Amino acid sequence: MEGMISFYAAYGGIALFISLLNNIFLLYYVDTFVNVYKIDSTSFWIGEAVFLIWNSVNDPLFGWLSDRKSLVSTSDAKEQVHLSNETVLKRIRSLKKYGPLFSLSFLTFWFPILPSGMQFVCCLCLYDCFLTLVDLQHQALLADMAITANERSKLNSYCSVCSALGSASVFISYAVWDKSRLLPFQTLCLTVASAVIVGFFICCSILQWEFEDRKKFDDAKENPTIVIHESFQMNEKSISAAEYGKQLLKQKNFLWFAFMNLIQVFHCHFNSNFFPLFIEHLLGHVITPGTGAMILGISFLIPHLNNLYFLSLCRKYGSYSVIKWLFCIKVLLAGAMWCFGPGWWILLCIFIASNRVFTEGTCKLLSLVISDLVDEDFVVNRRKTAVSALVFGMAALLSKPGQTLAPLLGTWFLFLQTGKSVFFDSTSQKVISSFESHELPVRQGCFNVLVFVPVICGLLQLFAWSNFKLKGKQLNQIKSLRAGLESKREENVLNVYDY
């Protein structure tokens, strides 16, 4: 029992260290390059365009490189179990190797070593490379180490608690952030990055020790981790990357999820990228910097704590229903805020924080849905073993562009609504950050963007989610086959699905 607790805690610890770095990155990388390094708009857009391509391609690429051996045909049952165990250990070793590199890539943002335009694109691509490697392996472990909804929810709960602790970097970074004096912020980043390097080594070592002990216990009992029912005939054919892509793109549930997740990724990063700007221009004239820091920190902390409650609801009602409710709440809150207008500053404080809380809360549950899609891919395509990293990578291929679109469309929306650009221009004074926060056209334009984005995103997501069918009876049958407990013949079960 103690070993399992330490195993869960170590898995959650990795989420802690990812959160510590990524929260700072999301909040300050745009602000740093725009207001500190004075990047011009052309370099910014070119950098984001290059990042869009790389950000989309690297997830399926790394997923394929990680899981391609799992698509090789093997008819020996013991070899299948060995392959599954080795896949988990390989993922843990990858985390141990790439975690420190992820930490070092994070530091490249905060020290001007190249021309701003060149450094912008290099830092973004390098950071996203190692973030993808770490995040992909960490998420894939969720689908590989646990099959039942309860086990996955428990692992996700530990991640939520640890990610909540990781929100401490938001409070501290906001306290030391100063555009005119970067040294305290740089010192903080160096300290956090060093702690993350040590943390990755410790957590990955614990994961490796605990899993190897559990594997030895299973081997001694001659009870393999993955059991395939004898009526479930495995696919004997090895497939190529193109063939795998065609298989996945035939799955309607996967495509509807990818569309919904594209919008979700866009909205999450939009909130993170422009959160400080909304606080400054909508609330800067009525609240102190300390209050702004508190709102910012709470909006990063509460989603992780709320996730513990959301996960309990998922165990009771299913993740599909909980996510649908969260979409509805997001639309209703934004609609209500639009009715009240920007003059109600207390309501505005609550809305800015809650908008991010419910949006991020949804993001925390999506790994459960992708894990279900891993199960569906395993069953429908009759795989020898699940290709978790590859499914997570393909999902990211179709949704990660939202991360790049968020700052691009966000700056465009703000320009349309305010008539001002957020970029530095020595020949023009039309820069949002140079205006007083009480200027009404800027305030009203920021408010319009703040409320319109969640309404549009929420409505599109509700449409996509209504077409997602991997729930209820269908999901239970998929999980039964994945666990090797389904007694019906394979062909009778697969006829239930319309692909």
pLDDT tens by residue, 7-45: 778 888 999 999 999 988 988 888 888 888 888 888 888
Residue 91's pLDDT is what?
A: 85
Concatenated DSSP letters of 396-463: HHHHTHHHHHHHHHHHHHHHHHHS-BSS--TT---BGGGS-TT-HHHHHHHHHHHHHHHHHHHHHHHH
Whether the predicted pLDDT of 107 surpasses 90: yes
Residue with tokens 């934004």, as numbered in its chain: 334
Cα 423-425-430 angle, rounded to 5 deg: 75
The dihedrals phi and psi of 447, each to the nearest 5 degrees, come to -65, -45
d(CA 365, CA 360): 9
CA distances from 171 to 303, 351, 381, 416, 493 (A): 15, 19, 46, 32, 51
pLDDT tens by residue, 336-376: 988 888 778 888 888 888 888 888 888 878 888 988 898 88
Residue 230: which pLDDT band, with cuts at 50, 70 and 90?
Answer: very low
With beta carbons less than 8 A apart as the criterion, state whether 357 and 109 touch.
no
Summary mean pLDDT of the chain: 78
With beta carbons less than 8 A apart as the criterion, state whether 408 and 358 touch.
no
Residue 494: which pLDDT band, with cuts at 50, 70 and 90?
Answer: very low
With beta carbons less than 8 A apart as the criterion, state whether 131 and 102 touch.
yes
3-state DSSP call for residue 470?
coil
pLDDT tens by residue, 41-69: 888 888 888 887 887 788 888 887 877 76
Domain at 2-226+249-494, CATH homologous superfamily: MFS general substrate transporter like domains (1.20.1250.20)
What is the arithmetic mean of pLDDT over 141-167?
A: 79
Instruction: Name the residue among 141, 13, 122, 151 with its Cα closest to residue 66.
Output: 141
d(CA 24, CA 4): 31
Residue 72's pLDDT is what?
A: 56
Q: Which of 193-202, 273-282, 342-351 ranks highest by mean pLDDT? A: 193-202
Domain-by-domain residue ranges, the chain? 2-226+249-494
CA distances from 428 to 127, 163, 422, 432 (A): 32, 42, 11, 11
With beta carbons less than 8 A apart as the criterion, state whether 322 and 382 touch.
no
With beta carbons less than 8 A apart as the criterion, state whether 265 and 400 touch.
yes
The dihedrals phi and psi of 176, each to the nearest 5 degrees, come to -100, -5
pTM given for the model: 0.70
User: From the centroid of its chain, how far is CA 322?
Assistant: 18
pLDDT tens by residue, 381-422: 777 777 777 888 888 888 878 887 888 888 888 888 777 666
Beta bridge partners of 431: 421
Whether the predicted pLDDT of 204 surpasses 80: yes
Whether the predicted pLDDT of 442 surpasses 60: yes
Write out the two tokens for 352.
């800015």
Instruction: Name the residue among 93, 85, 95 with its Cα closest to residue 133.
Output: 95
d(CA 45, CA 35): 15
Q: Which residue has the higher pLDDT, 345 or 285?
A: 345
Instruction: Name the residue among 167, 166, 184 with its Cα closest to residue 176.
Output: 184
d(CA 317, CA 26): 32
Whether the predicted pLDDT of 334 surpasses 50: yes
What is the arithmetic mean of pLDDT over 304-313?
A: 81
For residue 49, count other CB atoms closer than 10 A to its CB.
Answer: 13
Residue with tokens 């070592």, as numbered in its chain: 205
